[in-house]
Structure 1
Amino acid sequence: MNEAAARVRERLTALGRLEDCDLDPAEPALLLAALGQARRGTLLDIAPYLALLDEMADQLRAEGRDCPDAEALAIRLFQLLGRRHRFQGDERDDDDLGDLDLLTVMDRRRGGNDALGLLALAVTRRAGMVAEGLAFPAHFLLRLGLAGGSRVIVDPLGGGQSLSTPDLRAMLKAAAGLDAELEPIHYAAMSNRDLLLRLGNAAKLRLLRLGHVDRALAMVESLLLVAPDACLLWREAGLMHMRLDHTAPAIAALEQFLARTPSAQAKARTLALLAELKRRLN
């Protein structure tokens, strides 16, 4: 590992020790993107990117003072992002992870639903307003609002237009099938780490779909620096190491999963798998 990558990993590890309520998801998202460049020997300074988020937040705070409700705030936010700063939706499904990489999104001013949602959330929170990512399947949605005031649910690619209950029901059925119905969990706010993991998981799944197991594994292991208690990530890391014939690292990752999972069934399956892996080493 080169010095640049080691420095980024050190910062991500420090962020991994924070309580979730103290974690700003924008910083680790930028650092995870920087880590890919650091592995190639270039240490990219994320300070200008954080400064841009602060600048946009100052503008939103100034322009949002006269917003009478959350709907007006949402429109103002996405006008700021789209018209003044030229951010646009650009979801792609190829070997380029640029629509999921927050550094690249901020450079290109183009990004996918998850990355633009995280960007909008970061700006809104920095402006002192309410922003939450919802645990809605398949498509990232934001709940925005004024402190102590109304709330509105928006699609980050929808220009700030509010989504009604029928809109949400239609989106859910398109993603999960005609039998799916809205439940309270679909309105639940994600934790800061879950926001970060959602973006990283989208990148991981694309890499696996393209057959890049080594790059997907690097993504998972980077996420584990800032979310070390995410037990399913340890399991995924172990299984990817197995696919790459990395027996010792696979054992280490699966043992971490075993120590964290509350599922008796998962523990039993993992113990059997570990026994088989350890036989390979002997």
Structure 2
Amino acid sequence: MRAGFELPDWNRLAGQEDDTLPLLGTALLIARDEYPQLDADLYDTLLQSHAEEMRGTVDAIEPLPLKMQAINRHLFEELGYAGNHDEYYDPRNSYLNEVFERRLGNPISLAMVQMEVARRLGLPLDGVSFPGHFLVRLPVDDGVLVMDPFNRGRPLDEDELRQRARPHLGGEMPDDEALYRILNPASHRAMLTRMLRNLHGVYVDRDDWERAVRCADRILKLAPDNAEALRDRGLGYFKLGHRHGARHDLGRYLQLHPQAPDAGTLRERVVELSAGNAKPN
């Protein structure tokens, strides 16, 4: 068995640079909030076994795109990892232990599995915070190979990428420069924040305010001045009746974004909270 895999400390993550922030460890830390008995070493060992099963095959292949093709075939065909199209908003799709156990996930959790295996095999696979579905990218001689982990790692050409981005850009077709910016590699902090925002949205839709607040709080452990997370945690505190926490977070959000579209409504809420008149609705 490999040496024990240690999870990071939530209270130390804000001070870490993006390139040293542990992706797998922090994703499993997110899962441990929901599954306190989670065995992180088990999943690190599982990922390593996925990589070792492929090492001989991948090392024997020269072109990077063909190496990646072999990895995708192993993950999505032989091991059975797949996008959960039937229950896209199931929170288990965002908890990596469940993704490993069920072989089902959403775009960003599957991207993390794909990236971890590829990187252990020497391939510089990165995430892409693409509008809509999260994607991955691999540098190749003539540019980048962009793939969709939610759909078995299928490669996406330039035309399809433009079409996918268009609805999220006000109907405008992105030009070369805009598309290039969209395809920039996502930092580990950005990926983990997006995972937590996905979970936050799921729990808000379910009126599960304790878990929604937990997700916003974890984002703030990664990025203490994340304005959206301050607002979301403040609104969650309000729903839970934690008036002091709500007033503090909403006030801080307004300091950071005094001209935000929702600033007027939230200022009224803060005034009500300060006066002791606000009631959850």
Deviations 1:254-278 (A, max 9, x none): 355456x3x4424975666544422
Match of 1:121 in 2: 115
Instruction: Report the TM-score when normalising by structure 1.
Output: 0.82
AA at the equivalent of 2:30: L
Question: Tell me, what secondary structure is at the counterpart of 1:48?
Answer: helix
Question: Tell me, what secondary structure is at the counterpart of 1:18?
Answer: coil
Q: Residue 13 of structure 2 is aligned with which of 12, 15, 29?
A: 15
Kindly indicate whether the alpha-carbon contact (under 8 Å) linking 1:69 and 1:149 is maintained by their aligned counterparts in 2: no
**Alignment pair present for 1:47 and 2:41:** yes
State the 1:193 CA deviation. Answer: 0.7
Give the alignment's Cα RMSD to 1 decimal.
3.0
Distance 1:239 1:95, change over 3 A: same
Unaligned runs of 5+ in 1: 1-6
Unaligned runs of 5+ in 2: 1-5
Question: Tell me, what secondary structure is at the counterpart of 2:174?
Answer: coil
Q: Residue 241 of structure 1 is aligned with which of 237, 244, 267?
A: 237
Q: Percent identity?
A: 25
AA at the equivalent of 1:33: A
Kindly indicate whether the alpha-carbon contact (under 8 Å) linking 1:15 and 1:23 is maintained by their aligned counterparts in 2: yes
AA at the equivalent of 2:80: R
Distance 1:65 1:145, change over 3 A: farther
Q: Residue 133 of structure 1 is aligned with which of 127, 131, 137?
A: 127
Distance in 2 (alpha carbons) for counterparts of 1:195 and 1:26? 11
Kindly indicate whether the alpha-carbon contact (under 8 Å) linking 2:68 and 2:118 is maintained by their aligned counterparts in 1: no
Question: Tell me, what secondary structure is at the counterpart of 1:162?
Answer: strand
Q: Residue 28 of structure 1 is aligned with which of 26, 29, 35?
A: 26
AA at the equivalent of 2:150: L
Deviations 1:108-130 (A, max 9, x none): 11112221112111222233321
Kindly indicate whether the alpha-carbon contact (under 8 Å) linking 1:74 and 1:161 is maintained by their aligned counterparts in 2: no
Kindly indicate whether the alpha-carbon contact (under 8 Å) linking 2:235 and 2:246 is maintained by their aligned counterparts in 1: yes
Distance 1:172 1:278, change over 3 A: same
Question: Tell me, what secondary structure is at the counterpart of 1:16?
Answer: coil
Match of 1:204 in 2: 200
Match of 1:151 in 2: 144
Question: Tell me, what secondary structure is at the counterpart of 1:154?
Answer: strand
Match of 2:70 in 1: 76
Distance 1:175 1:95, change over 3 A: closer
Deviations 1:25-45 (A, max 9, x none): 12111111111122xxxx222
**Alignment pair present for 1:188 and 2:188:** no
State the 1:80 CA deviation. Answer: 1.8
Match of 2:96 in 1: 102
The size of the alignment, in residue pairs, is 268
Match of 1:3 in 2: none
Distance in 1 (alpha carbons) for counterparts of 2:153 and 2:35? 33
Over 6 Å off, 4+ runs: none
Question: Tell me, what secondary structure is at the counterpart of 1:142?
Answer: strand
Match of 1:217 in 2: 213
Distance 1:176 1:265, change over 3 A: closer
AA at the equivalent of 1:250: A
State the 1:194 CA deviation. Answer: 0.6
State the 1:175 CA deviation. Answer: 5.3
State the 1:56 CA deviation. Answer: 2.3
Deviations 1:227-246 (A, max 9, x none): 33423211211122123332
The structure with higher relative contact order (CA 8 Å, sep 6+) is 1
Instruction: Report the TM-score when normalising by structure 2.
Output: 0.82
State the 1:145 CA deviation. Answer: 4.0
State the 1:141 CA deviation. Answer: 0.7
AA at the equivalent of 2:90: D
Match of 1:168 in 2: 161
Match of 1:280 in 2: 276
